[in-house]
Structure 1
Amino acid sequence: MTDERIALGTARGRWVLTATALGSGMAFLDGTVVNVALPAMGEDLNANMAGLQWIVNGYMLMLASLVLLSGSLGDRFGRRRTFVIGAVWFAAASVLCAFAPTLEVMIAGRVLQGIGGALLTPGSLAILQTTFQHSDRGKAVGMWSGLTSVAAAVGPFVGGTLVDSGYWQLIFLLNAPLALATVVVALRHVPETRDENATGKLDFTGAALATLGLAGLTYGLISAGDHGFGDPLVLTSLAIGVLGLAAFIEVERRSSHPMLPLGMFANIRFTGANLVTVVVYGALGTSTFLVVVYLQTGLHYSALWAGAALLPMTALMLALSGYAGGLADTIGPRIPMTVGPLLMAGGFLLMLRIDSGTSYFTAVLPGVVLLGLGLVSTVAPLTATVLSSVADHHAGIASGVNNAIARSAQLMAVAAIPMAAGITGDTYRDPAAFHDGFGNALVISAVLAACGSVIAWVTLGDRPGQQLRHVLTTDIHHRHCALEAPPLADAKPN
């Protein structure tokens, strides 16, 4: 496969980038428009804050639980094939969401969407990593990050217009033509790649335990907001979650073919980048979820303008992500990923100025711009660092691990931070009560982002031989799922 690598500047290279950006962009678009539509959906489906959290988290739950298995499926059966199946599945689930008559059906549709999303996003990154020449990968990942931002840029306008006109259901039907275009381009232009050495059983037990653990914690944290931690159902749910995740780690440690190869975390750069992912994506997912809802219910923005309020952040990602990826290739990821989360923390704190008596340009825009600059500095270098820390044939697993961690962080944060900030029940319908909780949530997000800066500085240095003591498995050279876990810090492009 080495001599078949595609150059980014060729026609085929552009088509490959288009296919991956279309597929991932579909998921990005869905996230943007769903956040914009949450107040309208809550009104029509009679949902309180817990209901809104489940509309978001139903998707995130399956995405977080299954992206690891998806990476293995792509490595085993073909990354393009898995990617195409994900696009078709995602579109079908979107149609179910569009016609959901009740909150319960909507959540079920979002759960099914999460399965499709689990096949899409890691597949797109693995395709980039295994298709392009080594010298083009950093730029390709950066351009992918920027192009997927186009969907996030279009989403507020299209989704907001549909919501304001009374047809929020149509936001889900937008995915059908996008999925069709993704499938056509992928089948015609994307080469099939797989790990030819992949053997053994797929880790369905691990996937089931991960789903059980994350679902238990999510249900317990969301329910605790309304019923308190002393409620028997809350305690039972949290206990199931903790035991499920503990069993998942033990199964992965003992399995000869785990979907989460714990030996990968012996590389301090891989581990550090994923720890940054936890805190940064946790902060970002919660804050953007709450900002769009608060602008509509607290400041009475229309759905269109509430979604468009975050557009400068998206525009910065689109304009500068390619440069950020190239810069990280030149100077390394440590400085960009240290500065980026600090800028994000500053953006969250600037948003504390948002109140009913303030204007967009003085209270909202400065924080959005600073947050966007922080994301530009962080996202492309982070993704490239995760992928470059492993050998090429491990790309599906590496991208799956990072996506699972990112979505798990968002899942837990969206479940826990509103409760910690005092946003429960119908609080989001009361502007005064929502304002206080919104400020608390922003402070929590700022602290999380600042922690990401510290983690990046400590773990992403260039000191040779940086390895974590391997405490999770007994032998980091243990073979599993055709995955030999060498000292990954020494892995070099071929």
Structure 2
Amino acid sequence: MSPETPRNPGEQAAPPPSGDGPPGPPAGKDPLIAGSGWFAVVATGLAIFMTTFDMTAVAIALPDLNRELSISPHEGEWLILTYAGAMVALGLPAGRYVDASDIRGCFVVGSLGFATASALAGFAVDLPQLIGARLLQGIFGALLAAVAPVIAARSVPPSQRGRALSIIGVLGPLGAVSGPALGGPLVDTWGWQSVFFVVVPFSLAAVVVGLRNLASLVPMRPPAWSLAGESAIVAVGTLSVFAALTRLAERNPSYLLIAGLFAAAAVCFLVWRRTAGYGAARSALAVPMVAACVLSLTLTTVASGTLYYLPPFALEAFRGWSASTIGLLLLFQPLAMGAMGPLAGWLVDTWKPRATAAIGLISMTAGAVLLMLGIENWPAGVLVAALLLAGLGLGLFAGPNQTLLMMSAPPQLRGTSAALSGTGRQIGLALGPALATIIWLSGAHSGTGASGDGIVMAFIVAPVAVAAALGAFLLMTGDAGAPPQRPPGPPEPARPAEAAADAQSAPPGAAPS
């Protein structure tokens, strides 16, 4: 049975559109939706926003947090690395778990767990407690990142699916770029704890909406131990790469240690290749459109990570602006992104998703180049224009990219495909600042030692990453064809013998005969 063949009783096949056109005719309501499909979309979008918001808002809170808990900046970095490492390490296992488990249960457990972990982080009184809470946040955040796009893709008819998935696609990067702008005022007013406490009520609201509007279709089972093993392998490999990149930024790096860390990451990858998770990821990425969307999203978030990380340092060094002034300036990017999201969704449903995404990447490239050229001494209006272009571009790209990804993913690999997207986003958000820091400090070490040395050069990461994303997206999607416009129904339920077995221990990419 091919992935495009309907896999459920009563599921009707919708004819694929010609070329790059809008989705086909609407289909019946998905059995997953017990109430309002749009309420479910809003709840999942809110969950995605929270997971990326807490990734970057914590970076703004680090100076106050380090001072109050008497920890060093190096120790404080682990609060970011722990969260990012857990999100990356558990991303693909979480996607496989979503593919084999109850969608409603995964969303409710993820939202409730994220709320609990955030509250624990806010009440933490020392570094070990805070690191433990951040680890829990990453675990439940990975589950939310895997399940949210699946719910959004199944919540509305095909004629509205572009708008639904645009909400998910935009709110992810919107949370990341809003973290510095919103986190600063929160920390100044209520302290570092507020960046954790602020997400608790929204997480609990998502739980209520999920319980009221989603149906339980299969029994909720605990994850298999094999998933924990895969997660540990990926975690060691990921942290090895992060540690190596951090060492590269030092004035006198130990290249032997760096080589050893990269070697450890390579060994982890070779071991992971023998697991079922690798088979599932390979099956999903074998779909050209899925591979194109994941790669372009990863490169785009490398640029986003650079653009939320560098401007505060550059504007303070070159212009002497206060944190509040910098925060107000940086708000232009998320505001533009949020305003463009609904338009991008409408364009996906009525026009061409691929062309819309490409236009967004061109706009984002122009904004990144303009910001790099003007950050030092051009008028503030130029910086506003640059941030608006970058925000508008990301808003135009994110929704169509998410729609093309979920509509092209085979039904039995929707959770895995969504997890690949979320994992790519987290890698990009961590990799962008790391690459920018390496270039920045390399320039500073070879310059006069002034605070601005090397920082303008570091901005090159953003336009290069977005330009690479544009090239990869156009080249890889040119031969991919239009995504199949299947109804949003679930894949065929597992047979009784398979349900009794450990579903997570085998690659979910193989369709039942």
Please tell me the TM-score bracket, short chain as reference. Answer: 0.7 to 0.9
Matching residue within 424, 428, 452 for 1:409: 428
Task: Say if 1:209 and 1:316 are closer, same or farther in 2 by CA, change over 3 A.
Answer: same
Q: Does the 8 Å contact 1:36/1:159 carry over to 2?
A: yes
Tell me the distance in 1 between the aligned counterparts of 2:480 and 2:264: 41
Q: Tell whether 2:19 aligns with 1:19.
A: no
Tell me the distance in 1 between the aligned counterparts of 2:435 and 2:92: 23
2:29 is aligned to 4
Q: Does the 8 Å contact 1:299/1:355 carry over to 2?
A: no
After superposition, the C-alpha distances for 1:408-438 in whole angstroms (9 at most, x for unaligned) are 233333333312331799x9xx997443332
1:34 is aligned to 58
Tell me the distance in 1 between the aligned counterparts of 2:223 and 2:135: 29
Tell me the distance in 2 between the aligned counterparts of 1:406 and 1:226: 26
1:288 is aligned to 308
Tell me the distance in 1 between the aligned counterparts of 2:466 and 2:177: 23
Q: Tell whether 2:441 aligns with 1:453.
A: no
Tell me the distance in 2 between the aligned counterparts of 1:106 and 1:18: 29
What is the correspondence of 1:49-88 to structure 2 with a 5 Å cutoff?
53-88=77-112
Task: Say if 1:195 and 1:443 are closer, same or farther in 2 by CA, change over 3 A.
Answer: farther
**Stretches of structure 2 lacking an aligned partner (at least 5 in a row):** 1-7, 12-27, 484-504
2:390 is aligned to 371
Tell me the distance in 2 between the aligned counterparts of 1:324 and 1:264: 25
Once the 2 structures are TM-superposed, how far is the Cα of residue 455 of structure 1 from its aligned partner?
A: 0.9
1:388 is aligned to 407
> Which amino acid in 1 is paired with 2:167?
M
The SS at the match of 2:249 is helix
What is the correspondence of 1:227-242 to structure 2 with a 5 Å cutoff?
228-242=252-266
Tell me the distance in 1 between the aligned counterparts of 2:467 and 2:452: 23
Q: Tell whether 2:328 aligns with 1:308.
A: yes
Tell me the distance in 1 between the aligned counterparts of 2:372 and 2:449: 14
Q: Does the 8 Å contact 1:93/1:110 carry over to 2?
A: yes
Matching residue within 346, 367, 373 for 1:347: 367
1:189 is aligned to 213
Once the 2 structures are TM-superposed, how far is the Cα of residue 218 of structure 1 from its aligned partner?
A: 0.8
Tell me the distance in 1 between the aligned counterparts of 2:65 and 2:200: 20
After superposition, the C-alpha distances for 1:207-242 in whole angstroms (9 at most, x for unaligned) are 221111111111121123226443544333222122
After superposition, the C-alpha distances for 1:252-290 in whole angstroms (9 at most, x for unaligned) are 4xx4x6574312222222212222122111121132122
Q: Does the 8 Å contact 2:170/2:395 carry over to 1?
A: no
The SS at the match of 1:436 is coil
1:326 is aligned to 346
1:251 is aligned to 274
After superposition, the C-alpha distances for 1:322-364 in whole angstroms (9 at most, x for unaligned) are 22133234444332333322322221221224556565333x2
Task: Say if 1:300 and 1:120 are closer, same or farther in 2 by CA, change over 3 A.
Answer: farther
> Which amino acid in 1 is paired with 2:341?
S
> Which amino acid in 1 is paired with 2:109?
I
Task: Say if 1:395 and 1:432 are closer, same or farther in 2 by CA, change over 3 A.
Answer: same
Q: Tell whether 2:227 aligns with 1:207.
A: no
Once the 2 structures are TM-superposed, how far is the Cα of residue 41 of structure 1 from its aligned partner?
A: 3.9
Q: Tell whether 2:496 aligns with 1:484.
A: no
Task: Say if 1:228 and 1:77 are closer, same or farther in 2 by CA, change over 3 A.
Answer: farther
1:438 is aligned to 455
Matching residue within 126, 129, 133 for 2:157: 133
The SS at the match of 1:348 is helix
Indicate the RMSD between aligned Cα atoms, in angstroms. 3.7
Once the 2 structures are TM-superposed, how far is the Cα of residue 382 of structure 1 from its aligned partner?
A: 1.0
> Which amino acid in 1 is paired with 2:30?
R
Q: Tell whether 2:334 aligns with 1:317.
A: no
Matching residue within 115, 138, 149 for 1:91: 115
After superposition, the C-alpha distances for 1:293-329 in whole angstroms (9 at most, x for unaligned) are 5445664444444333222222222222122133234
Q: Does the 8 Å contact 1:67/1:404 carry over to 2?
A: yes
Q: Does the 8 Å contact 1:309/1:365 carry over to 2?
A: yes
**Stretches of structure 1 lacking an aligned partner (at least 5 in a row):** 467-478, 487-494
Once the 2 structures are TM-superposed, how far is the Cα of residue 37 of structure 1 from its aligned partner?
A: 2.8
Tell me the distance in 2 between the aligned counterparts of 1:309 and 1:107: 31
> Which amino acid in 1 is paired with 2:158?
H
Task: Say if 1:221 and 1:157 are closer, same or farther in 2 by CA, change over 3 A.
Answer: closer
Tell me the distance in 2 between the aligned counterparts of 1:343 and 1:269: 22
Q: How many residues end up aligned between the 2 structures?
A: 465
After superposition, the C-alpha distances for 1:88-128 in whole angstroms (9 at most, x for unaligned) are 22223323433445556544433332112101122111111
Q: Does the 8 Å contact 1:143/1:322 carry over to 2?
A: yes
After superposition, the C-alpha distances for 1:338-397 in whole angstroms (9 at most, x for unaligned) are 3322322221221224556565333x2121011012102211111111111123342211
Q: Tell whether 2:355 aligns with 1:335.
A: yes
Tell me the distance in 2 between the aligned counterparts of 1:211 and 1:152: 22
Tell me the distance in 1 between the aligned counterparts of 2:180 and 2:421: 27
Once the 2 structures are TM-superposed, how far is the Cα of residue 84 of structure 1 from its aligned partner?
A: 1.8
Tell me the distance in 1 between the aligned counterparts of 2:270 and 2:397: 30
Tell me the distance in 1 between the aligned counterparts of 2:184 and 2:203: 21
Q: Does the 8 Å contact 1:321/1:376 carry over to 2?
A: yes
After superposition, the C-alpha distances for 1:181-230 in whole angstroms (9 at most, x for unaligned) are 1111111122335699x999854332221111111111121123226443
Using the aligned pairs only, state the percent identity.
25
2:285 is aligned to 265
1:419 is aligned to 438
Tell me the distance in 2 between the aligned counterparts of 1:232 and 1:395: 41
> Which amino acid in 1 is paired with 2:51?
A
Once the 2 structures are TM-superposed, how far is the Cα of residue 399 of structure 1 from its aligned partner?
A: 0.4
Tell me the distance in 2 between the aligned counterparts of 1:73 and 1:333: 29
Once the 2 structures are TM-superposed, how far is the Cα of residue 176 of structure 1 from its aligned partner?
A: 1.7
The SS at the match of 1:394 is helix
Tell me the distance in 1 between the aligned counterparts of 2:329 and 2:448: 18
Tell me the distance in 2 between the aligned counterparts of 1:297 and 1:109: 34
Task: Say if 1:221 and 1:194 are closer, same or farther in 2 by CA, change over 3 A.
Answer: farther
Deviates more, 1:268-277 or 1:85-94: 85-94
Deviates more, 1:295-304 or 1:403-412: 295-304
Task: Say if 1:49 and 1:421 are closer, same or farther in 2 by CA, change over 3 A.
Answer: farther
Deviates more, 1:437-446 or 1:62-71: 437-446
Task: Say if 1:28 and 1:405 are closer, same or farther in 2 by CA, change over 3 A.
Answer: closer
Q: Does the 8 Å contact 2:443/2:454 carry over to 1?
A: no
The SS at the match of 2:478 is coil
Once the 2 structures are TM-superposed, how far is the Cα of residue 154 of structure 1 from its aligned partner?
A: 7.2
